[in-house]
Structure 1
């Protein structure tokens, strides 16, 4: 693939709670991604593509209905060059549905970069991001340093889901620039030799 081939970015929406704020944050993020000609976005919303809560025993083949559910998610994650996780913070951590989606997959994460957009109260979801970095390192993914974090998120967006804060726009650009750099570097490296997991 050439350097001009757009990168495929899968946005994984981590919250599945009723009344969740995730769609507002995700629409904003999709707008940021849509401004860039070098990126193509696929939003994977875990409410639209739910995965079973119980993983099979190690080495056991999933049931047919589980394979059907995975078929709606796994190929999209495998096709991605990079990821952005949109996550709230629940009890100083990230949502169970997001951990479940991560655990159902393995090679889909290998040798790919991940950025984070978090939201919440005073901490802005940053404790969720800290824990996600550790989890994704175990799955051979590379997390980018810069994040976008919405502190007291419900007050950060206007009624139309817009954010009128130049600092947030700058943070998003910096995060996506880092994600793009890593995605190109890792995609190029994997075109020369397979990732050694």
Structure 2
């Protein structure tokens, strides 16, 4: 059985570059071959700020947008969150989207692809991993940091970073495959 990976574009800001980075990561993951891969754009879900009355752990979602988000995330065996760094932190929309759900994340591994300036979004990545760990996800230490990522987006909008970035991504994917397989019995 093929494991399922969701690559989630975490920025919803107008003018964002997340789709270029997410598309690149999705292609790397497809070429890797360890997963069936789907690119998910958080902006397509238009999630308001924590608007469900019941705690997400109960899974009693009232709103269609939350039900749709849940249905998109639940079947995944692993995740890659693609996040920029806004003020040393992941975007509020991504934090909200993660906090909207609970059971859909449990016992699943997650990697982070972060992008930004000189640090490549590493502070954002660290904060996001803390949040993911609190939801019983295995936020693996391997990830991808993309410093000065904008320098690698061509006039055509395609993100083409140095080969070392693909090497980082493949190392992360190798680990996600191991973790996803090992954690699967906990989810069944």
Whether TM-score is above 0.5 comes out as: yes
Structure 1 segment 41-190 matched on structure 2, within 5 A: 41-58=37-54, 63=62, 67-160=63-156, 161-163=158-160, 165-190=162-187
State the 1:15 CA deviation.
Answer: 0.3
Q: Is the 8 A contact 1:122 1:151 kept in 2?
A: yes
Question: Contact 1:150–1:156 at 8 Å: present in 2 too?
Answer: no
Deviations 1:45-97 (A, max 9, x none): 1111111224334559655xxx2112321112110000000000000000010
Q: Aligned-residue CA RMSD in angstroms? A: 1.8
Matched residues in 2 for 1:162 and 1:99: separation? 24
- Correspondence list, 1:17-32, <5 A: 17-32=13-28
Equivalent residues of 1:44, 1:73 under 8 A apart: no
Deviation at 1:116, TM superposition (A): 0.4
Partner of 2:29: 33
The answer to whether the 8 A contact 2:29-2:170 is kept is no
Tell me by how many angstroms 1:139 deviates. Answer: 0.4
Q: Give the 3 Å change call, closer, same or farther, for CA 162–13 of structure 1 in structure 2.
A: closer
Highest Rg: 1 or 2?
A: 1
Contact in 2 for aligned 1:6/1:37 (Cα 8 Å): no
User: Of the candidates 7, 11, 15, which is equivalent to residue 11 of structure 1?
Assistant: 7
1:174-193, CA deviations, whole angstroms, 9 ceiling, x for partnerless residues? 010011110011114444xx
Counterparts of 2:89 and 2:132 in 1: how far apart (Å)?
Answer: 14
State the TM-score, normalized to the length of structure 2. 0.90
**TM-score, normalised to structure 1's length?**
0.86
| C-alpha contact (below 8 Å) 1:11/1:43 kept by paired residues | yes
The alpha carbon displacement at 1:163 in A equals 2.2
Moved more, 30-39 or 153-162: 153-162
The answer (yes or no) to whether the contact 1:85–1:117 under 8 Å persists in 2 is: yes
| Counterpart secondary structure, 2:81 | strand
**Structure 2 counterpart SS, 1:79:** coil
Q: Secondary structure at the match of 1:84?
A: strand
